[in-house]
Amino acid sequence: MVTTPDGGADSAPVSGAPRTHVSFVTKSAVVLLGMTALLNLYSTQPILGDIAAWAHIPTTDAAWTISTTTAGVAITAPFAGMLSDRVGRRRVIVVAVATMAVLTAAALTSWSYPALLAFRCAQGMCCPFVFAVVVAYIGEEYEPSTASTLNALYVAGTALGGFLGRMVAAILSDWTGSWRLSFLGNAVILAVTLAVTYWGLPPERQFIRTVDRGVGGFFVNAGRLLRKPRIVMTVLVGFALLFQQVASFTFASLALECPPFSLSTSTIGLIFVVFLIPTVTTPRFGALMDRWGPRWAFVASQSVSVGGLVLTLVPTIPTMIVGLALSCVGVFAGQAAGTLMVGRLATGARSTGVGLYLTGYYVGGAFGGVAPISFYSTAGWTAVVVLVLGVVLCAGVMGWWAWRPLGSQAHDPQ
């Protein structure tokens, strides 16, 4: 029995060597799983006006359909890995995708706005059981070079899913006149993913079932980590990153519906193609972190975000698109630095540290969907940009302080 750093014990044998061959079906399953991880999360962004008209609420209040989903992710993110440690990666992945498909189809039947929010929250609660567990599955089951290839496919899938979820919602809503059918489109994608995953994702060979201290162990480790100011600041950086992303794209969608832009729902959906750009830029940012170090690279990423946000203040469609693209690039690059640093700082309890970071990240997304409502209602898009710029600047300061070299000061509190 081997005790794990987080206080658990390994209790099942490894049944074979890591895999080196990957079939086309398996690669397809990994890409589709990457897509489903983010497919539902922000799918209502381009159809907020349609939902608001149905629910008889202000358009800004429809942003709760995004915040409740990200809040659902924050609730379960720390515990997804813990469950998969006990019952197996593949089983958790398959059940999570099946549940997401059912919930997405069920959202078609939403009889009231609170019911829709409940479905959205439940969808979000399923997401960590895909994105956290797939990464663990790939790392365990495949030798390093093959795992790197699959991870690249998975990341590409997440970017594609973030775009496709919004695009499908926008097009179906525009073409059919019913926002409900956007959920049907995503449910079909999830059903295809379930079938390909069930048949194409091989059973585990390397999985080691873990018997640990469970939820209690997580909270013990979390309490210890949260006494370290560097960890707290890193979690807050995660909060700020997704706050920026959700706030900027949610309220930019609302602004683009109004004069002087007056874009249709499907046209707004096309703008989300900028989410594909980080699939190219983020790996290059990794090389920049190697050369400059995480602190300077993170400051550079947030400078890109600031430049993009300022550019959106010029009221033309090209400047809005380029500005949002730069903001998106900065967020993904910053996320690469944040996940790297939480792993370095959370020594002895890395899985708990990553869980805390993800919780902070998605709580930030939940606040990003609703905190700017009063700003937008009072002074429009400009006020939202000012708010988000303040959050980005705070993130830069916190990252710069928290990620200074360890031991750079006497009696460093870590």
- Residues counted in the chain: 414
Residue 211, pLDDT score: 58
Task: Tell me 17's DSSP state.
Answer: P
- Give the separation between CA 274 and CA 285, rounded to whole angstroms: 17
Give Cβ neighbours of residue 207 (< 8 Å, ≥ 6 apart).
Answer: 12, 14, 88, 89, 140, 141
The packing angle between helices 64-87 and 128-141, to 10°, is: 40
Give Cβ neighbours of residue 55 (< 8 Å, ≥ 6 apart).
Answer: 62, 112, 113, 116
Instruction: Give the residues across from 245 on adjacent strands.
Output: none
Residue written as tokens 């014990």?
A: 9
Which of 5-14, 48-57, 289-298 is predicted least confidently?
5-14
Position 3 pLDDT exceeds 50: no
Q: Output the CA torsion sign for 210, 216, 222, 224.
A: negative
pTM for this model (two decimals): 0.81
Give residue 413's Cα distance to chain centre. 30
Position 49 pLDDT exceeds 60: yes
Locate 360 and state its tokens.
């902070």
Question: How many CB atoms within 10 Å of residue 313?
Answer: 13
Locate 173 and state its tokens.
């809503």
For the segment 261-283, what is each residue's pLDDT rounded down to a tens digit? Answer: 999 888 888 888 888 888 788 87
Residue 11, pLDDT score: 40
Percent helix, percent strand, percent coil in the chain, to nearest 5: 80, 0, 20
Give Cβ neighbours of residue 349 (< 8 Å, ≥ 6 apart).
Answer: 5, 6, 221, 224, 225
Position 8 pLDDT exceeds 60: no
Residue 214, pLDDT score: 62
Q: Kindly indicate the confidence band of residue 7, based on its pLDDT and cuts at 50, 70 and 90.
A: very low
* Cβ(294)–Cβ(337) below 8 Å: yes
- Give the separation between CA 80 and CA 126, rounded to whole angstroms: 9
Residue 270, pLDDT score: 86
Which of 64-68, 139-143, 271-275, 410-414 tops mean pLDDT? 64-68
Q: Is 39 helix (H, G, I), strand (E, B) or coil?
A: helix
The secondary structure element, H or E, covering residue 69 is: helix 64-87
Measure CA of the first residue to CA of the last residue in the chain; give whole Å. Answer: 32
Locate 375 and state its tokens.
């700003």
Residue written as tokens 């070079």?
A: 145
Q: Where are the alpha helices (DSSP H) in 88-228?
A: 89-106, 113-126, 128-141, 144-176, 180-200, 214-225
Report cis status (omega within 30 of 0) of the bond before 114: no
Residue 18, pLDDT score: 65
Q: Kindly indicate the confidence band of residue 17, based on its pLDDT and cuts at 50, 70 and 90.
A: low
Residue written as tokens 């799918």?
A: 43
Task: Tell me 4's DSSP state.
Answer: -
Q: Characterize the bridge pairing of strands 210-211 and 9-10.
A: antiparallel
Q: Kindly indicate the confidence band of residue 50, based on its pLDDT and cuts at 50, 70 and 90.
A: very high
* Cβ(331)–Cβ(245) below 8 Å: yes
Question: How many CB atoms within 10 Å of residue 91?
Answer: 15
The angle formed by the CA atoms of residues 361, 362 and 364, to the nearest 5 degrees, is 70
Position 133 pLDDT exceeds 90: no
Give Cβ neighbours of residue 150 (< 8 Å, ≥ 6 apart).
Answer: 22, 27, 30, 138, 142
Position 6 pLDDT exceeds 50: no
Q: Which of 277, 366, 285, 274 is nearest to 312 (CA)?
A: 274
* Type of residue at 310: V
Residue 409, pLDDT score: 45
Following DSSP, what letter does each residue of 336-353 receive, concatenated? HHHHHHHHHHSTT-HHHH
For the segment 204-241, what is each residue's pLDDT rounded down to a tens digit? Answer: 877 666 655 566 767 787 888 889 999 999 999 999 99
